Amino acid sequence: MSSDFVIVGAGSAGCAMAYRLTEAGATVTVVEHGGSDAGPFIQMPGALSYPMNMSLYDWGLKSEPEPHLGGRVLATPRGKVIGGSSSINGMVYVRGHARDFDHWSDSGAQGWAYADVLPYFKRMEHWHGEGDADWRGHDGPLHITRGPRANPLFNAFITAGAQAGYPVTPDYNGEAQEGFGPMEATIWRGRRWSAANAYLKPAHKSGRLRLVRGLARRVVIEDGRAMGVEIDRRGTIEVLRANREVVLAASSLNTPKLLMLSGIGPAGHLAGHGIPVIADRPGVGANLQDHLELYLQFASLQPITLYKYWNLWGKALIGAQWLFTKTGLGASNQFEACAFIRSKAGVDYPDIQYHFLPIAVRYDGRAAAEGHGFQAHVGPMRSTSRGSVTLRSADPAAPPVIRFNYMSQPEDWDDFRRCIRLTREIFAQESFKPFVKHEIQPGSSLQSDAELDAFIRDHAESAYHPCGTARIGRRDDPLAVVDPECRVIGVDGLRVADSSIFPRVTNGNLNAPSIMVGEKAADHLLGRAPLPPANQEPKLNPRWRESQR
């Protein structure tokens, strides 16, 4: 039961690595605890609210009570299925801003500046959008498309941004992220184009990939070198041997748990659970970050929202059309318009993200009681709050202890209040006059800082972008977990390649940068020289020092 590489996790980065490694002639074993991604709940884009709320596909992890959010426990869905979280996410495709990756490099992740990672984004993309083609990839495995924006509310949102004085960007993943414009998605020919569809299934055809279903218990380390992975397969404990290296790509919540179960982490914490310490790395499980967001909801004057389909017959109609033709509303995630703006003058690149949705509904599928409505998901991108992932016990089946420590910094509250007030201004523009009936949530009666803070405390939700728990850095950095080639510091033959390694959360959704990590890590695993750096210069708002827009 051996292969060149053993990868734990068939998610965004794991699938990308499996594809590139088998393409190069290596044999790969991928361990995944979840099962098949077949079936309409995953493959139909319009059904996205279902898989992330189904125990069949989701690990079911939850935060500890959050002290700054009134003790609320927040769900933190992670994909337990082929394709990982790319099979249960909202399919939104955002690379992140160029400045994010330059910050990574400045933090010790040498070789991960924007010029270094842009060639990997281009290598992975098969782009079908409009804009400057020089910034995008055209023959990669990952299809990137845009929705039709047939509902007039999408263009009303983009027009409202322009009326409020913001730029309109033709491609936020291209030269200029800042502005309002069409949103991109990992959807192709009406289907969710997950990392499994893009990478794992083609890799399987090579004959060099073996997919093993089981629960990874720990990395087997002998004389300071990772030799394989111990798994529980249907109640039997087995060891999958790696002739070359072991790679953990199990998510920013499960990867640090696996590292700690393997004796890699804060020595005192491991000793407290009776786990022998192999490498004392206090950064394992630290630096946990996420994006929080609010749903600002508005009642609609016109019955043109998706609410008319929010019933048994409407859903059946959409489902049937998709099943037989892969077209219609079921072929879109309905996130077809978006924006990235700066919160105030002196901020050099966007720190607020918007997803616009032509229905007032929660991620758990509960629609607003008032019927026809629409909403903007809005939240700050760069909170300085940090949390942790720690062990609940030495039992590999026990979920980790997840403490996000949301809203623990005073700036977080100021940032969120700005989000609410800037959003209200956008929906007050002329283009929304035919559509806005009134504000459902928070409600126009809430105006003072104290009233808005109470609303934020009760209603802020995770955008499901956890990262940072095994961060990349210099080998002499005591809080770094992996070096710039994704090698775990203190153990040979072991790497981490998923969103755990992010030094800081990127601007936007994390699927794209997670896949990029898998692409780049594959070159490191193969001992290849990285792709040559790009020389394109991204565009910043020239007036960012003196103007908010």
3-state helix vs strand vs coil in the chain, percent to 5: 30, 25, 45
The verdict on whether residue 117 carries a ligand-binding annotation is: no
Q: Spell out a b/e string for 356-383, using b for 16 or more CB atoms within 10 Å of the CB, else e.
A: bbbbbbebeeebbebebbbbbbbbbbbb
The answer to whether 241 and 1 have CB atoms below 8 angstroms apart is yes
The verdict on whether residue 541 carries a ligand-binding annotation is: no
Nearest to 180 by CA among 535, 426, 11: 426
Angle (CA) 61-337-507 rounded to 5° is 55
Query: Cis (ω within 30 of 0) for the bond into 442?
Result: yes
Lookup: tokens for 261: 């179960």
The secondary structure of 493-510, three-state, reads CEEECCHHHCCCCCCCCC
Amino acid letter, 95: R
Positions marked catalytic? 465
The verdict on whether residue 81 carries a ligand-binding annotation is: yes
CA distance 241 to 219: 10
The verdict on whether residue 491 carries a ligand-binding annotation is: no
CA distance 298 to 305: 11
Q: Which helix (H) or strand (E) holds 316?
A: helix 312-325
Give alpha helix (H) positions in 63-151: 98-106, 114-124
The answer to whether 146 and 188 have CB atoms below 8 angstroms apart is no
The answer to whether 242 and 50 have CB atoms below 8 angstroms apart is no
Which residue bears the tokens 């039709």? 148
The secondary structure of 169-198, three-state, reads CCCCCCCCCCEEEECEECEECCEECCHHHH
The verdict on whether residue 91 carries a ligand-binding annotation is: yes
CA distance 207 to 203: 8
CA distance 492 to 3: 17
Q: Is 112 exposed, middle or buried (0-12, 13-18, 19+ CB in 10 A)?
A: buried
Annotated binding site for FAD: 81, 89-92
